[in-house]
């Protein structure tokens, strides 16, 4: 904190050793072959990682000795030196002061965009896409939208139709660009943005990539994530396109559900699961961006999600995102969700008892809080079953401990929702919270200490929620306790 003595004081050893270390690192950047497997940890990758850490440590001091290496290597005939030059430039972006790097980024940006479309080496184009993503993430203020944005997006979209590895890097760069240039809060809609005219081209390029049958180099998942990012950052003048994408995703989801009986083997099932997870992520982005747009399709969303949950077995990834979709819909719809309770509650109760698959249990706990805030007293009839599920989580010796603070919070959310109807559960709740609050941790166990504080904070918040929910009967209830 400000004014405190740092726990570790830099002695400047890395800066003093820079003249000896840097030439070796830069030389290793070009130590690579065309047949290197992208999953292997090579010398050049290790050198780039070390260079990145070194830049963060020494700051501005790394710029002057690296620039000549970049300038000389960028025009070399062999791809290894061109790729090494671009990698060196991308690796030092995070560390030096932005004012130091701004002139260099401004000078190099146009050249990098040209390399993205013209360099014959896929390895170089992949590294260029990664570097452009780094610039968008860290140095976007140096980019003049009127000069560069259209060419940048066009170059990155062209990379989507090349190798899966380049496509993944281009998706990452596009995501960083839209995240930084459009930053409305969830649910907020700005009138327009510099990227608005490019949305048709972006979605037109990403949708086919997201529909591919394979996910080599995670390119399909990257496409879905980029679609979600553009939806989350969409302006008012692009919501029509967002709706088209949303409806296409619902149709794609339904087509996948219809294909379940045709799945053969674990690979087919895993591929199906991955696509359903990704579609759920996109649908959640649309719900958060425009609940009004989604409201007319709530029945369709819930029908699809319930079918996915009922047929997914123990595929935790699918279940987590299916439950997250339900929670997002409940939280954002504000009203009308109660009509889905009878159909959804059996799946919710089953998930609350999934101690062996704690991620699913965690997702179910979150949904309890979301539904409680959405339906309020209308959940009173099912409150007893939900309370049993939450309290059993707190009693379980096998559930992952990270679920327990959230289960306590969910109890408070349920109490706040059903109000005075929570009174029958008050004594049992206070007993279990008292036991939970007595948890201690050794002074040298940082992780356990953190867990204990999370528990205590959750207990205080939940007790406040309980009192707020039963405020009309507080005096009587407190007297009984």
CA contacts within 13 A on the Cβ side of 467:
10
Tokens of 44: 């050049």
The answer to the question of residue 130 being in a domain is: no
Digit-coded pLDDT (tens) for 325-381: 999 999 998 778 999 999 999 999 999 999 989 999 999 999 999 999 999 999 999
> 């309770």: which residue's tokens?
341
pLDDT for position 33: 76
Tokens of 283: 């649908």
The answer to the question of residue 349 being in a domain is: yes
What predicted TM-score, i.e. pTM, was given to this entire model?
A: 0.91
Give the alpha-carbon dihedral of 60, 61, 65, 66, to 10 degrees: -40
The answer to the question of residue 429 being in a domain is: yes
Full residue range of the structural domain in which residue 452 is found: 334-481
Is the separation of the CB atoms in 222 and 171 below 8 Å?
yes
Q: Is the pLDDT assigned to residue 187 strictly greater than 60?
A: no
The answer to the question of residue 214 being in a domain is: no
The answer to the question of residue 471 being in a domain is: yes
Give every CB contact of residue 104 below 8 A, 6+ residues apart in sequence: 63, 67, 89
Per-residue pLDDT averaged across 82-98, rounded?
A: 95
Can you say how many angstroms the Cα of residue 251 is from the centroid of all Cα atoms in its chain? 24
Which among 163, 174, 70, 153 is positioned nearest to 121, based on CA atoms? 163
The answer to the question of residue 411 being in a domain is: yes
Q: Return the higher-pLDDT residue of 265 and 276.
A: 276
The answer to the question of residue 417 being in a domain is: yes
Per-residue pLDDT averaged across 271-296, rounded?
A: 95
pLDDT for position 190: 84
Mean pLDDT for the chain?
90
Q: Return the higher-pLDDT residue of 343 and 3.
A: 343
Give every CB contact of residue 452 below 8 A, 6+ residues apart in sequence: 439, 440, 441
Domains of the chain: total: 1
SS (H, E, C) the chain: CCCCCCCCCCCCHHHHHHHHHHHHHHHHHCCCCCCCCCCCCCHHHHHHHHHHHHHHHHHHHHHHHHHHHHHHHCCCCCHHHHHHHHHHHHHCCCCCCHHHHHHHHHHHHHHHHHHHHHCCCHHHHHHHHHHHHHHHHHCHHHCCHHHHHHHHHHHHHHHCCCCHHHHHHHHHHHHHHHHHHCCCCCCCCCCCCCCHHHHHHHHHHHHHHHCCCCCHHHHHHHHHHHHHHHHHCCCHHHHHHHHHHHHHHHHHHHHHHHCHHHCCHHHHHHHHHHHHHHHHHHHHHHHHHCHHHHHCCHHHHHHHHHHHHHHCCCCHHHHHHHHHHHHHHHHHHCCCHHHHHHHHHHHHHHHHCCCCCHHHHHHHHHHHHHHHHHHHHHHHHHHHHHHHHHHHHHHCCCCCCCHHHHHHHHHHHHHHHHHHHHHHHHHHHHHHHHHHHCCCCCCCCHHHHHHHHHHHHHHHHHHHHHHHHCHHHHHHHHHHC
Question: Measured between alpha carbons, how far is 294 from 221 in angstroms, rounded to an integer?
Answer: 23
pLDDT for position 349: 96
Q: How many Å from the N-terminal Cα to the C-terminal Cα in the chain? A: 42
Report the CATH number at residue 354: 1.25.10
Phi, psi of 137 (to 5 degrees): -75, -40
Which among 263, 353, 246, 346 is positioned nearest to 298, based on CA atoms? 246
Other Cβ atoms closer than 10 A to 60: 13
Other Cβ atoms closer than 10 A to 481: 7
Q: Is the pLDDT assigned to residue 431 strictly greater than 60?
A: yes
Per-residue pLDDT averaged across 116-135, rounded?
A: 95
What pLDDT band is residue 1 in, cutting at 50, 70 and 90?
very low
User: Which stretch of 28-37, 80-89, 163-172 has the lowest confidence by average pLDDT?
Assistant: 28-37
The answer to the question of residue 164 being in a domain is: no
Q: Is the pLDDT assigned to residue 282 strictly greater than 90?
A: yes
Give every CB contact of residue 380 below 8 A, 6+ residues apart in sequence: 418, 421
What percentage of the chain carries pLDDT values higher than 70? Answer: 93
What pLDDT band is residue 134 in, cutting at 50, 70 and 90?
very high
Digit-coded pLDDT (tens) for 390-417: 999 999 999 999 999 999 999 999 999 9
Can you say how many angstroms the Cα of residue 10 is from the centroid of all Cα atoms in its chain? 33
Q: Return the higher-pLDDT residue of 11 and 226.
A: 226
Question: Measured between alpha carbons, how far is 281 from 348 in angstroms, rounded to an integer?
Answer: 19
> 């992208």: which residue's tokens?
38
């Amino acid at each position: 904190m400000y004014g405190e003595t740092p726990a570790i004081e830099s002695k400047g050893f890395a800066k003093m050793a820079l003249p000896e270390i840097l030439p070796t690192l830069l030389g290793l950047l070009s130590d690579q072959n065309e047949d290197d497997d992208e999953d292997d940890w090579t010398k050049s990758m290790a050198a780039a990682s070390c260079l990145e850490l070194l830049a963060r440590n020494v700051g501005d001091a790394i710029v002057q000795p690296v620039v000549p290496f970049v300038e000389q290597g960028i025009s070399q005939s062999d791809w290894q030196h061109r790729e090494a030059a671009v990698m060196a430039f991308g690796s030092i972006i995070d560390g030096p002061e932005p004012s130091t790097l701004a002139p260099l980024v401004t000078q190099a940006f146009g050249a990098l965009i040209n390399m993205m479309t013209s360099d014959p080496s896929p390895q170089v184009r992949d590294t260029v896409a990664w570097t452009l993503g780094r610039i968008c993430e860290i140095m976007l203020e140096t980019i003049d939208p009127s000069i560069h944005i259209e060419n940048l997006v066009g170059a990155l979209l062209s990379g989507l139709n090349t190798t899966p590895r380049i496509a993944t890097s281009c998706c990452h760069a596009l995501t960083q660009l839209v995240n930084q240039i459009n930053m409305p809060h969830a649910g907020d809609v700005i009138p327009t943005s510099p990227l608005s005219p490019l949305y048709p081209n972006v979605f037109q390029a990403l949708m086919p990539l997201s529909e591919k049958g394979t996910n080599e180099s995670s390119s399909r998942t990257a496409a879905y994530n980029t679609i979600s990012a553009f939806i989350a950052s969409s302006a008012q003048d692009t919501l029509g396109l967002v709706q088209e994408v949303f409806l296409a995703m619902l149709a794609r989801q339904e087509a996948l559900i219809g294909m379940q009986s045709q799945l053969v083997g674990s690979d087919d099932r895993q591929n199906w699961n991955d696509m359903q997870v990704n579609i759920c992520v996109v649908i959640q982005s649309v719900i958060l961006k425009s609940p009004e747009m989604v409201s007319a399709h709530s029945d369709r969303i819930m029908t699809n999600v319930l079918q996915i949950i009922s047929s997914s077995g123990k595929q935790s990834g699918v279940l987590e995102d299916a439950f997250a979709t339900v929670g997002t819909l409940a939280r954002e719809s504000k009203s009308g969700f109660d009509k889905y309770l009878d159909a959804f509650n059996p799946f919710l109760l089953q998930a609350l008892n999934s101690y062996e698959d704690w991620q699913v249990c965690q997702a179910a706990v979150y949904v309890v809080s979301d539904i409680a805030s959405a339906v309020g007293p209308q959940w009173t009839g099912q409150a007893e079953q939900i309370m049993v599920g939450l309290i059993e989580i707190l009693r379980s010796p096998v559930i992952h401990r990270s679920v327990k603070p959230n289960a306590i919070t969910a109890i408070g959310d349920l109490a706040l929702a059903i109000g005075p109807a929570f009174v029958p559960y008050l004594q049992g709740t206070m007993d279990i919270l008292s036991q939970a609050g007595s948890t201690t941790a050794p002074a040298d166990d940082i992780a356990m200490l953190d867990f204990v504080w999370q528990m205590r904070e959750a207990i205080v918040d939940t007790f406040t929620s309980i009192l707020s929910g039963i405020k009309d009967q507080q005096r009587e209830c407190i007297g009984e306790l």
